[in-house]
Structure 1
Amino acid sequence: MAAKAQKKLQGSKIVSSEGFGAAQIIARMMQALNLPTQSALAEELGVSRGAVSDAKAKDKIPAEWMLKLFRGHGLNPFWMETGRGAMYLDQGTVREDSPTGPARGEEGFDFIPLVEAKLSGGGGSVETEDRVLGYYAFRRAWLNGRGKIDSMRLMRVTGQSMEPTLEDEDVVLVDLSQHDILAGKIYAVRMDDEIVVKRLEKKPGMLVLLSDNRRFYDPLEVPVGEQLNVQVIGRVIWMAREMM
């Protein structure tokens, strides 16, 4: 993609921060389930022993592993990640910083991971589950009405191109299963080697990426035949902003 087009797109990208060590998380999983070996943990997770060893070596735990143990055994994702709080949710503890309000001791909640979003090498597919940075609790009924829960991820935004709708450091909830373009809706989109958030529209033979901050960011029209470098990751269905 031309440098000029790349410059226009800079501003609202998905970023990440450091998470907790994979070795400690694996140890807590084994402790909670009383599993003697990593092979036993791999069997519980439905993966190979090599997958567990690789996760430990790369210091990256797939979000699906924590979600599986949460849904299958009631393990508290926050405890698995940090070692703090109750080991099991039925002990009355979920994260108090839930964006949907206090959830302590209540049922009907699901945890959505805040993930590091990055691009994998080679095929250009987007990896969003290698490093979990935290979890937020949402009411399950609310999530069910908005998309596929297992495909939802939280990501952090940086930049000014989507102001005033999205500001620097906002957190967005993205449903990775929603790829169909609805005119005017906001999507996470891969553009070459970065992930951006834009409104999308279609024109005959064109995909149009729009910034809300149109005073400084021009629309970008991508011909259908040149969309190999453009991939719709998912639709943004919710956002949160910390008030300083």
Structure 2
Amino acid sequence: MPKKKRRCDEAQLKWFEEALERIKKATGARTQVQLAEVLDVRQSSISDAKRRCSIPADWFLKLYRSHGLDPDWLSEGVEPVYINADKAKVPADTLLRETPAPYGRMNSRGRLVPVSTMAGADKDAAQWEPKSIEELSVPESFCRPKLLVVKVDSASMDPVITRGAFVGIDRDQSEHPDGDLCAVHFPHQGLTIRRVFHQGDTFLLKADNDQYSDLTIPAEEMNDRTVGRVIWVLQNLAPM
């Protein structure tokens, strides 16, 4: 007769889930596919680890080499987070100061993320880079490996996106499906968020607010100037 597969007990399962969650938070991996890419393993290896409630020792070694993470923190939550902080992808204080999110599912966990101005670090630079001005707690489900959060300083997309709203932008998404909201860099001005439409040799960037003019960008420049696609918006629907 075939041997029965050993099942994890409650304590083993709790340890595994907490350790795996620390790995995900520190690397920004949100899915099993992303986690497998970070660890350079097959997706089936992730499933095997879950079934056994056991994290292979070489995963800890890989995460130290790639992210500078301390195996003791990954395994047991014992600080410090990093042995080699120069390789840190996420600030240690951000990982350690996570609080319950004010949005999303009841009892869901949140992550503190930096919020940038739309002007960015240098409006005159050829490439847009963020400039952090505050932090915001968002649900885990809202996070992505290359999430950018900006605070909107324009009413061009009102009422869909109001001035002062927090907008989540996925920098991994640079496609331009017609009608989608994209964040696009304009030198000397910073970011603008508009609905994008492809029109032959140009892209039309439409504002939802009729008081703002539409913009155009040559098609050959669009990829370089697109920072990402808008994936969520947090804002007040009524005056405070």
TM-score by shorter chain over 0.5: yes
Is 2:202 aligned against 1:206? yes
Secondary structure of 2:175's aligned partner: coil
What pairs up with 1:175-194 in 2 under 5 angstroms? 175-193=170-188, 194=190
For the pair shown, the structure with the greater C-alpha radius of gyration is 2
Number of residue pairs matched? Answer: 158
With the length of structure 2 as denominator, give the TM-score of the two structures. Answer: 0.55
RMSD: 3.2
Q: Which structure 2 residue ranges, 5 or more long, are not aligned?
A: 1-77
Does the CA-based 8 Å contact 1:190-1:229 persist in structure 2? no
What pairs up with 1:46-195 in 2 under 5 angstroms? 46=87, 64-66=90-92, 70=95, 75-77=96-98, 94-95=99-100, 98-100=102-104, 102-103=106-107, 106=108, 109=109, 111=111, 113-117=113-117, 118-120=120-122, 124-128=126-130, 131=132, 133-140=134-141, 143=142, 149-193=144-188, 194-195=190-191
Matches of 1:166 and 1:122, distance apart in 2: 25
With the length of structure 1 as denominator, give the TM-score of the two structures. Answer: 0.54
Q: Which has the higher contact order (CA 8 A, sep 6+)?
A: 1
1:220 offset after TM fit, Å? 1.9
Matches of 2:163 and 2:124, distance apart in 1: 30
Q: Which structure 1 residue ranges, 5 or more long, are not aligned?
A: 1-31, 36-40, 48-62, 78-93
Relative to structure 1, the CA distance from residue 159 to residue 236 in structure 2 (aligned partners, 3 Å threshold; closer, same or farther) is same
The residue that corresponds to 2:59 in the other structure is none
Matches of 2:159 and 2:152, distance apart in 1: 13
* Percent identity (aligned): 17
1:123 offset after TM fit, Å? 5.8
Matches of 1:191 and 1:121, distance apart in 2: 8
Matches of 2:218 and 2:145, distance apart in 1: 32
The residue that corresponds to 2:53 in the other structure is none
Does the CA-based 8 Å contact 2:123-2:187 persist in structure 1? no
Point out the structure with the larger strand share.
Answer: 1
Alignment-mate amino acid for residue 169 of structure 1: G
Relative to structure 1, the CA distance from residue 125 to residue 119 in structure 2 (aligned partners, 3 Å threshold; closer, same or farther) is farther
Matches of 1:113 and 1:185, distance apart in 2: 24
